[in-house]
Every structure is written in structure tokens, then in C-alpha cells.
Amino acid sequence: MTEALLEIANIVGTHGLRGDLKARLKSDNSDFLMTTKKICLRLPTGETLNLNVSRQALHKGQVLLRLQGYDSIDQAEKLVGSQILLAENLLPNLSDGEYYWGQLKGLQVIDRGRGEIGRLQQLISTAAHDTYVVKGAFGEILIPAVHQFILNVDLEAGVMQVDLPEGLIAEEQ
């Protein structure tokens, strides 16, 4: 695959003895992972593998995948901890103001009052809403991914503009 690749899920475990892998999605939309026949895995070592998908199923909010050539639990266990990457052009278009995690990861985060506060490093999904983890000059900051705090996302410039309330950042003493 030579297209831009986006991280859309993580392999978090195995399921059964036939090599099925549990994939935890980075969005609520599982359609693209349920229909694709090819994926790219980035192993924890950084190596990438292009693999064919032979089976997909939904199970308890996760997608179970069986990959060609990985037909036993012993083979599949080696893939746990990998990231699933898909070509951006294979993903469904999102509404305005919606983004795939792979598009946001690494963005410079600038607060309206404080200036640059760091880089977007991680996404935590909760029942209420997603939370962005930003690391930088103020340490680790957890920002609820809601419209009242996120002012603008400019993917071309690599910047997310936010307006954080008092108390969300541990202020300098």
C-alpha cells in the first residue's frame, strides 16, 4: 500500500484457538474493518505487514479478525499489540468536524490563552466522550474531545486550537 495510512484499531488480544484477533476500534464505525479484505499491521517492533483478511465478526463491541497465514493461537499471539492501519482512501468520508484518530495523532495543540501546550499523543475512549492526551510543557493534559473545548482543527497546518477552562492545566506556581 502506498497511500497514506491511518491507525484505525489496535490488536488487544486473541480469541479462541483458531487465530482470531480482537481489534479495539479508534472510532464507533466498524463498517470499514468489517468489509476490508486487506490490512496493514504495524507490529510493536515498528515492522509493517500487509495481510489478507479471511474472516471478520463483531463480538462484544470489538471486531474479531482472522488473517491469512495466522490460523492458530500461537501464530496470532505474535500480533497482539499491533496497530491496524488502513489506506485513507478506503475509509468512509466523515462529516465536517469529524476526524479519524490517525489524522489527529501528533498535532500541535495551541490553547487560546496559553499558547502551545504540547502534542496530541493518545486517545482514550470513555462511555461519555473521547479524551485527548496532550504532552508538552505543562506535562500531561487530558482534554475532553467536545466542541466546547476544541475550537479548530487544521490538518494541513498540523494544528489543533483549543480553549481550555481554568483548572484543566496545572498552572505554574
Tens digits of residue pLDDT in 101-133: 778 889 999 999 899 999 999 888 777 778 899
Rounded to a whole number of angstroms, the distance between the first and last alpha carbons of the chain is 50
**Confidence check: pLDDT of 1 > 50:** no
CA distances from 101 to 10, 86, 155, 161 (A): 12, 12, 12, 16
**Confidence check: pLDDT of 142 > 70:** yes
Quick check: is 10 in a domain?
Answer: yes
Quick check: is 71 in a domain?
Answer: yes
Q: Look at residue 112 in the predicted model and tell me its pLDDT.
A: 92
To which H or E segment does residue 146 belong? none
Same domain, 117 and 42: no
Q: Please, which pLDDT band fits residue 3 given cuts at 50, 70 and 90?
A: low
Same domain, 57 and 106: no
What pTM was estimated for this model as a whole? 0.62
Q: Is 88 left (phi over 0), alpha (psi -120 to 50) or beta?
A: alpha
Quick check: is 9 in a domain?
Answer: yes
List of residues 6+ apart from 30 with CB closer than 8 A: 58, 63
**Confidence check: pLDDT of 35 > 50:** yes
Q: Look at residue 27 in the predicted model and tell me its pLDDT.
A: 67
Quick check: is 172 in a domain?
Answer: no
Same domain, 17 and 60: yes
Share of the chain above pLDDT 90, in %: 36
**Domain endpoint, select from 89, 118, 149:** 89
∠ CA 108-110-115 to the nearest 5 degrees? 130
**Domain endpoint, select from 35, 61, 89:** 89
Whether the Cβ atoms of residue 23 and residue 63 lie closer than 8 Å to each other: yes
Q: Look at residue 49 in the predicted model and tell me its pLDDT.
A: 92
What is the domain range of residue 118? 101-162
Of the candidate ranges 18-32, 71-85, 130-144, 151-165, the one whose mean pLDDT is the lowest? 18-32
Question: What pLDDT, in 10s, does the model give residues 45-85?
Answer: 989 999 999 988 888 778 889 999 998 899 899 999 999 88
**Domain endpoint, select from 57, 89, 121:** 89
- At 143, which CATH number? 2.30.30.240
φ/ψ of residue 76, rounded to 5: -70, -35
Q: Look at residue 137 in the predicted model and tell me its pLDDT.
A: 86
159-162 vs 108-111, strand pairing mode: parallel
Alpha helices of 22-143 — where are they, by DSSP H?
31-35, 73-77, 101-104
Whether the Cβ atoms of residue 104 and residue 8 lie closer than 8 Å to each other: no
Mapped onto helix, strand or coil, the DSSP state of residue 67 is strand
Quick check: is 144 in a domain?
Answer: yes
- At 51, which CATH number? 2.40.30.60
| Count of the separate structural domains present in the chain | 2
Same domain, 74 and 124: no
Q: Look at residue 171 in the predicted model and tell me its pLDDT.
A: 62
**Confidence check: pLDDT of 165 > 70:** yes
Same domain, 84 and 115: no
Q: Look at residue 117 in the predicted model and tell me its pLDDT.
A: 94
Same domain, 83 and 58: yes
Same domain, 84 and 105: no
Quick check: is 171 in a domain?
Answer: no
Separation between Cα atoms, residue 99 and residue 134, nearest integer Å: 17
Same domain, 10 and 82: yes
